[in-house]
């Protein structure tokens, strides 16, 4: 895919080149009108943002087959973003753009969001890097949020082309120092203007009080304690200042191997079982040191494994699960399916799309992650055993699996505040290396692995299968994934709490006198207006009912197991890319079950030795897992209890909103989930209105009616990829090629045809 040519190129029949050649430069046409237009289009700069270079008379192509259509304007590179200012940009600023990001515009690309840069030389596409001897006539930018921008530089002055191309390459691909990130420039410039959202109740876990609150919430304070032994990061820079360990564990043991080999508490179940994680001890060759480590681990193990009262199952994620290389390789193949340069390329890959999807193994990796989380859930829920997750640094797969387990077992984590607090606890304070895994500094490409994005994709599978169980929507997950690359939030731009605390202190002895106040991504008012934020909250979320004291103890709310997207799935026949792989046997996921490790077995895992024996046979354990899995799915779903996903082949789907949102051909016009959601919201508003009228009859004073904002009034004029794509904003081929496709008339005729199309789709 990456080797294909310019717009209109690719495979298949090439479109004929236009026979007419214009020798008049575009800027010479209607110069007076253009001067007026350019004065009106201004570049919005954030506090501390500076313009580095720019070029005028740049043509931004539309993503259409063999099209040379586009918009002329200026291409600007700042120390924060690449921005295109179209001459007719004011015409696009209308009511349709209801889901605007206040920080990043439609034609803005943050420097951290740039994935690859290509140049077109004589209709040949080449990767651009370093110093160029020759400059391209077309610039193609592939973004990490899967947008594709194409800019024609043919009519731009040669000196401006050199400056803008060289500037973009340097500022997006050259290695950077942490202190040179725009994050610090913005924080310094906006120091006195930063206002936190009072409605943000996310627990940050940056104080001992937060950890004690979490222990009390999960009833884990009987067996575990919060410690401050690492308050000044003298014990370990990898661990947070505060964390939780088993109560019998002496605090001096934490300091022994700089936090390695210590069971760190993650979460406690209602039945008393707990989820723990541990980073492996450094590998040593000296027999004396090995004996010391063995003795140390033996003492540690006895504090958490006290049969028959406390039984621990270890899960070695470093050797018995996915590797980071597998994740990176799979995603690299997977993302190429959505980085489409033009319509021809889209249709060329359409016939082999499923085979390409399967060969990427991305959906299979998602399935394996969910399966592993279900296995651990079964161990804690059904067998009442503690689970200890093992990993080299306990900061990648430990974060992923522990978060998924809590999401399945703890309904609090399925609220928006609870989910954000979960990410703070397990990922931010858990020491996930966001700076390296997202490659924000461009210092080591081999360290870049989308572990957090894999987690969000797994969460989306749960949200898609059980919508009423989650307070947030898939749109929330999509914009959260986009926020990984916006360097005004500190949440995803550090490798550890220690690195953040160190760098947000004094920027300089002379210039900075107080610590920087860095924004967190959880303040959504920075990015979206209140009306747009309504799309982040799920109106179908089933809140937990408040039971009266007289009601029976232990009574739980049981909701019918339904999916409000069933009708949308039926209509999605128009485009099969919204479906998952065919039902195939997973070829890379071995059948593993549960086993009880001996003390020596745990020590061998931590010391880097291979597993030598299992207590139980794998077939018997697989039967236990299958029985637990099938039994849960055979009962009505309790949205405030245990929640398990379906992991069979066709149930693991492509996250269409995130991956397909920028491809016009992938839209279901007037259909998809948005059509179903619109109807449901209309019904909810009608019920609410009737309820208000009933309440008015019982009250003498008429209370003012608050109309709930609704952005889905006319689903026929939206697409399945709403709110990121709107029907009127794209001009593309019909999703299904048809004979006798009538030419579109004026806007009223277009709306009428759309309505007829939707009505026919409902038949």
Local confidence band at 321 (pLDDT 50, 70, 90 cut-offs): very high
Q: In what order do the strands lie in the sheet with 114-121?
A: 108-110, 81-86, 70-78, 51-61, 148-152, 138-143, 114-121, 124-127
Region of poorest pLDDT, from 137-141, 332-336, 386-390, 507-511? 507-511
Q: Which two tokens stand for residue 66?
A: 């063999």
Q: pLDDT tier at 525 (50, 70, 90 boundaries)?
A: very high
Mean of pLDDT values over 652-661: 95
Give the C-alpha separation, 439 to 444, whole Å. Answer: 7
Work out the pLDDT band at 97, boundaries 50, 70, 90.
low
- Contact at 8 Å (CB) between 232 and 425? no
Which pLDDT belongs to residue 281?
A: 87
3-state secondary structure 174-191: CCCCHHHCHHHHHHHHCC
122-153 pLDDT, tens digit per residue, is 989 999 999 999 999 999 999 999 999 999 99
Instruction: Provide the percentage of residues in the chain whose pLDDT is more than 90.
Output: 56
Q: Is 60 exceeded by the pLDDT of residue 631? A: yes
| Domain ranges across the chain | 51-174, 208-507+515-536
- Which alpha helices (DSSP H) does 1-114 contain, by range? 31-40, 89-92
Instruction: Kindly tell me if the per-residue pLDDT of 43 is higher than 70.
Output: yes
Q: Where does the pLDDT of residue 29 fall: very low under 50, low under 70, confident under 90, or very high at 90 and above?
A: very low
The chain-wide mean pLDDT, for the chain, equals 80
In this predicted structure, what is the pLDDT of residue 715? 52
Least confident of 70-84, 154-168, 595-609, 623-637: 595-609
Q: For residue 741, give both structure tokens.
A: 């496709």
pLDDT at residue 577, rounded to an integer: 41
- pLDDT tens, residue by residue, 351-382: 999 999 999 999 999 999 999 999 999 999 99
**pLDDT for 535-554, tens place per residue?**
999 988 988 876 655 554 44
Question: Hey, what CATH topology would domain 51-174 get?
Answer: PH-domain like (2.30.29)
Of 55-59, 191-195, 273-277, 692-696, the range with the lowest mean pLDDT is: 191-195
Q: Are 280 and 602 in contact (CB under 8 A)?
A: no
Of 33-37, 69-73, 271-275, 449-453, the poorest mean pLDDT is in 33-37
The pLDDT of residue 762 is 41
What is the pLDDT confidence band of residue 610, given thresholds at 50, 70 and 90? very low
Q: What pLDDT does 551 receive?
A: 54
Q: Is the pLDDT of residue 756 over 90?
A: no
Among 157-171, 309-323, 325-339, 508-522, the minimum mean pLDDT is found in 508-522
Confidence of residue 324 (pLDDT cuts 50, 70, 90): very high
- Dig out the tokens for 607 from the structure: 């010391």
Name the pLDDT band for 66 (thresholds 50, 70, 90): low
Query: Is the per-residue pLDDT at 18 higher than 90?
Result: no
Give me 672's structure tokens: 């998809």
Cβ density class 136-170: b for 16+ within 10 Å, e for less: bbbbbbbbbbbbbbbbbbebbeeebbbbbbbbbbe
Tokens (6 digits) for 324? 């980071």
Burial class of 263 by CB neighbour count within 10 A (0 to 12, 13 to 18, 19+): buried
pLDDT band at 393 (very low <50, low <70, confident <90, very high): very high
* In the chain, % of residues over pLDDT 70: 73
Higher pLDDT, 485 or 18: 485
Query: pLDDT tens-digit profile of 461-491?
Result: 999 999 999 999 999 999 999 999 999 999 9
**Which segments of 77-117 does DSSP mark as H helices, in order?**
89-92
Q: What is the pLDDT of residue 34?
A: 42
SS3 286: coil
Confidence grade of residue 738 (pLDDT, cut at 50, 70, 90): very low
φ, ψ for residue 71, nearest 5 deg: -125, 130
> Considering only CA atoms, which of 499, 495, 497, 505 is closest in space to residue 240?
497
* DSSP calls for 287-316: HHHHHHHHHHHHHHHHHH-BTTTB-EEEEE
pLDDT at 567 > cutoff 60: no
Tell which residue, 24, 9, 11, 332, has the closest CA to residue 140.
9
720-740 in b/e burial notation, b at 16+ Cβ within 10 A? Answer: bbbbbbbbeebebeebeeeee
166, pLDDT greater than 90: yes
Q: What is the pLDDT of residue 462?
A: 98
Confidence of residue 194 (pLDDT cuts 50, 70, 90): low
Other C-beta atoms lying within 10 Å of the C-beta of residue 308: 5
More confident residue, 327 or 307: 327
Q: What pLDDT score was predicted for residue 141?
A: 97
Strands 124-127 and 138-143: unpaired
Q: Which residue has the higher pLDDT, 515 or 578?
A: 515
- How sure is the predictor about 686, in pLDDT bands with cuts at 50, 70 and 90? confident
Q: What band does 676 get if pLDDT is binned at 50, 70 and 90?
A: confident
Confidence tier at 196 by pLDDT (50, 70, 90): low
What is the average per-residue pLDDT within 173-196? 87
Q: Cα separation of 240 and 296, whole Å?
A: 22
Please name the residues in contact with 40: beta carbons below 8 A apart, sequence gap of 6 or more. Answer: 90
Report the range out of 86-90, 300-304, 394-398 with the highest average pLDDT: 394-398
Q: Is the pLDDT score of 575 beyond 70? A: no
pLDDT of residue 667: 84
Distance CA 651, CA 670 (A): 24
Task: Name which of 181-190, 251-260, 312-321 the model is least confident about.
Answer: 251-260
Residues 217-267 have pLDDT tens digits of: 999 999 999 999 999 999 999 999 999 999 999 988 888 888 899 999 999
Do residues 386 and 304 lie in contact, with contact meaning Cβ atoms separated by under 8 Å?
Answer: yes
Selected residue with higher pLDDT from 12 and 42: 42
- Cα angle for residues 46, 49, 52 (degrees, 5° grid): 140
């Amino acid at each position: 895919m990456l080797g294909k040519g310019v717009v209109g190129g690719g495979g298949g029949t090439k479109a004929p080149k236009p026979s007419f050649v214009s020798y008049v430069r575009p800027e010479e046409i209607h110069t007076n009108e253009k001067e007026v237009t350019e004065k009106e289009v201004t570049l919005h700069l954030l506090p501390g943002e500076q313009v580095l270079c720019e070029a005028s008379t740049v043509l931004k192509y539309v993503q259409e087959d063999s099209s040379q259509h586009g918009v002329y304007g200026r291409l600007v590179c700042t120390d924060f973003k690449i921005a295109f200012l179209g001459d007719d940009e004011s015409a696009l600023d209308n009511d349709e753009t209801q889901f605007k990001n206040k920080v990043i515009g439609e034609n803005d690309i943050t420097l951290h969001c740039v994935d690859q840069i290509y140049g077109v030389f004589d209709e040949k596409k080449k990767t651009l890097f370093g110093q160029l001897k020759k400059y391209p006539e077309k610039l193609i930018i592939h973004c990490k949020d899967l947008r594709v921008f194409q800019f024609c530089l043919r009519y731009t002055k040669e000196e401006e082309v050199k400056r803008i191309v060289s500037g973009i390459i340097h500022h997006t691909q050259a290695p950077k120092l942490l202190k040179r990130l725009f994050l610090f420039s913005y924080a310094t410039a906006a120091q006195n203007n930063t206002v936190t959202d009072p409605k943000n109740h996310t627990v940050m876990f940056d104080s001992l009080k937060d950890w004690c609150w979490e222990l009390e919430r999960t009833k884990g304070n009987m067996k575990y304690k919060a410690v401050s032994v690492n308050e000044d990061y003298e014990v370990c820079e990898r661990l947070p200042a505060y964390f939780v360990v088993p109560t019998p564990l002496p605090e001096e043991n934490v300091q022994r191997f700089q936090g390695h080999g210590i069971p760190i508490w993650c979460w406690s179940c209602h039945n008393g079982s707990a989820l723990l994680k541990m980073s492996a001890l450094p590998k040593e060759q000296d027999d004396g040191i090995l004996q010391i480590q063995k003795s140390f681990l033996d003492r540690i193990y006895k504090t958490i494994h006290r049969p028959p009262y406390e039984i621990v199952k270890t899960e070695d994620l470093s050797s018995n699960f996915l590797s980071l290389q597998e994740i990176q390789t799979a995603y690299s193949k997977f993302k190429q399916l959505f980085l489409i340069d033009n319509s021809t390329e889209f249709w060329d890959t359409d016939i082999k799309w499923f085979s390409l999807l399967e060969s990427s193994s991305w959906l299979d990796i998602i399935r394996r992650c969910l399966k592993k989380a279900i296995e651990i859930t079964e161990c804690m829920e059904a067998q009442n055993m503690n689970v200890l997750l093992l990993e080299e640094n306990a900061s990648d797969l430990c974060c992923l699996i522990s978060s998924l387990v809590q999401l399945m077992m703890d309904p609090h984590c399925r609220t928006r505040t609870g989910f954000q607090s979960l990410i703070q606890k397990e990922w931010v304070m858990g020491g996930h290396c966001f700076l390296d895994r997202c490659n924000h500094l461009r210092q080591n490409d081999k360290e870049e692995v989308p572990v957090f994005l894999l987690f969000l994709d797994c969460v989306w599978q749960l949200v898609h299968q059980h919508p009423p169980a989650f307070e947030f929507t898939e749109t929330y997950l999509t914009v959260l994934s986009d926020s990984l690359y916006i360097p005004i939030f500190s949440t995803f731009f550090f490798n550890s709490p220690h690195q953040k605390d160190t760098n947000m202190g004094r920027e300089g002895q002379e210039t900075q006198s107080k610590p920087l106040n860095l924004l967190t991504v959880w303040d959504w008012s920075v990015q979206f207006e209140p009306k747009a934020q309504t799309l982040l909250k799920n109106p179908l979320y089933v809140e937990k009912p408040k039971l009266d004291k007289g009601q029976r103890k232990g009574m739980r709310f049981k909701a019918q197991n339904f999916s409000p997207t069933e009708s949308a799935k039926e209509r999605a026949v128009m485009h099969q890319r919204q479906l998952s792989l065919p039902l195939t046997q997973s070829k890379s996921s071995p059948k593993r079950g549960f086993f009880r490790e001996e003390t020596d077995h745990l020590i061998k895992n931590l010391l880097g030795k291979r597993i030598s024996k299992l207590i139980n046979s794998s077939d018997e354990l697989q039967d236990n897992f299958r029985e637990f899995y099938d039994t849960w799915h055979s009962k009505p779903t309790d949205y405030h209890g245990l929640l398990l996903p379906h992991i069979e082949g066709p149930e693991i789907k492509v996250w269409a909103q995130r991956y397909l949102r920028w491809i016009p051909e992938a839209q279901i016009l007037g259909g998809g989930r948005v059509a179903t959601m619109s109807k449901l919201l209309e019904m909810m508003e009608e019920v609410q209105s009737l309820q208000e009228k009933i309440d008015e009859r019982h009250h003498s004073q008429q209370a003012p009616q608050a109309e709930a904002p609704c952005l889905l009034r006319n689903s026929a004029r939206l697409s399945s990829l709403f709110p990121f794509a709107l029907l009127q904003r794209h001009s593309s081929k019909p999703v299904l090629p048809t004979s006798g496709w009538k030419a579109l008339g004026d806007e009223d005729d277009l709306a009428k045809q759309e309505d007829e199309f939707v009505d026919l789709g409902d038949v």
